[in-house]
Structure 1
């Protein structure tokens, strides 16, 4: 039997992702239905997973799994009227955007500092805005199916993207700050030759 090595770094990263994803559920369950729409931890989770998991599969799988689990819980509970029986209409646009956000974390956060974190945060907000609203615009009779129609859709989404930016900054500060503090206190969490 192969030796299984316990990797505390992977476990802590995964627990932090699950904990911050739980905040998404807590905020949503404890507010008016759409009061905090898009004020979410998912952007921070995407960046965090992309930045800290060096194994490509884990970097994408763990954040996407956390998004799916929280989406599923929301779609069968308080957002059931928006659910199409599985998740919600156009869910795949959100997941495409989310995968691209993880990729931004992998590419821009190889060296984690305030400037890189700010640049990656602004990049994922732009990705979220353009990709998820593409799903809102396509085949939607409320918008003309041309560039001005798409632009109109984007303009209407600005308040939601501001909330997404606020959520990403706040939750990102918690995630990245907490892990950097933990790394300083517990050197076993620093990336060495192991894959996390």
Structure 2
């Protein structure tokens, strides 16, 4: 069986790693744009373009994790933190974003637009639920939210600015990632998917 080398997975991988580097290079702790990152777009991008499911999930999640480690050390905590308290909720929500990208089979402006909204909504609902769950247990000093519907709604209300920033990041960075790769596929046929 004659298999030809395809640079497509390498280009996709480099674009995803570039997103991680961009995230680290532009991270700030005090900004009205907290949450405005290319990460959601990266997860959607991987879901849309990688045909191998393990690559679609593994590459964005590993990129997220490695950039988290660097940011935890040099921006947020000042020491090495490999997994923060609510990491599981955030990482599962990013895996759900990849799934959203996989559900939209073809890259069209409409599909990318709808996937950006869906991914931001899923991330908002899932990760804030985890923040609420983690923030209503523990010692009295650790409790951020009441363990009831009022506490959950308060958590979601506090997360609304982040939702807006994530949605804006999804739109802008998806336009960049998807637009760049679609342009590259048209210019270099070797990047097109051979089905």
* Fold shared, TM-score > 0.5 on shorter chain: yes
For 1:62 and 1:86, the matched residues in 2 are separated by: 17
Q: Deviations over 1:79-123 (max 9, x none)?
A: 125x78323221111100010110000002x11111111111100
For 2:82 and 2:17, the matched residues in 1 are separated by: 21
Please point out which of 142, 145, 151 is paired with 1:143.
Answer: 145
Task: Please show how residues 81-120 of structure 1 align to structure 2 within 5 Å.
Answer: 85-108=81-104, 110-120=105-115
For 2:66 and 2:10, the matched residues in 1 are separated by: 18
Question: Structure 1's 43 and 122: CA in aligned 2 closer, same or farther, altered over 3 A?
Answer: same
**Would you say 1:123 and 2:147 are equivalent positions?**
no
For 1:101 and 1:155, the matched residues in 2 are separated by: 21
For 1:139 and 1:174, the matched residues in 2 are separated by: 35
Q: Deviations over 1:161-190 (max 9, x none)?
A: 111111111111110000000000000111
Question: Structure 1's 98 and 46: CA in aligned 2 closer, same or farther, altered over 3 A?
Answer: same
Question: TM-score scaled to structure 1, two decimals?
Answer: 0.89
Give 5+ residue unaligned stretches, structure 2: 136-142
Moved more, 180-189 or 159-168: 159-168
Aligned 8 A contact 2:43 2:60 in 1: yes
Aligned 8 A contact 2:69 2:81 in 1: no
CA RMSD of aligned residues (A): 1.8
Shift of 1:124: 0.6
Aligned 8 A contact 1:20 1:175 in 2: no
Shift of 1:137: 0.5
The count of corresponding residues between Structure 1 and Structure 2 is 187
Please point out which of 75, 80, 84 is paired with 1:78.
Answer: 75
Question: TM-score scaled to structure 2, two decimals?
Answer: 0.90
* 4+ aligned runs moved over 3 Å, structure 1: 3-6
**Would you say 1:133 and 2:135 are equivalent positions?**
no
- 2:140 is matched with none
For 1:77 and 1:38, the matched residues in 2 are separated by: 18
Task: Please show how residues 1-196 of structure 1 align to structure 2 within 5 Å.
Answer: 6-28=5-27, 31=28, 33-35=29-31, 36-80=33-77, 85-108=81-104, 110-140=105-135, 141-193=143-195
Question: Structure 1's 173 and 150: CA in aligned 2 closer, same or farther, altered over 3 A?
Answer: same
Aligned 8 A contact 2:8 2:192 in 1: yes
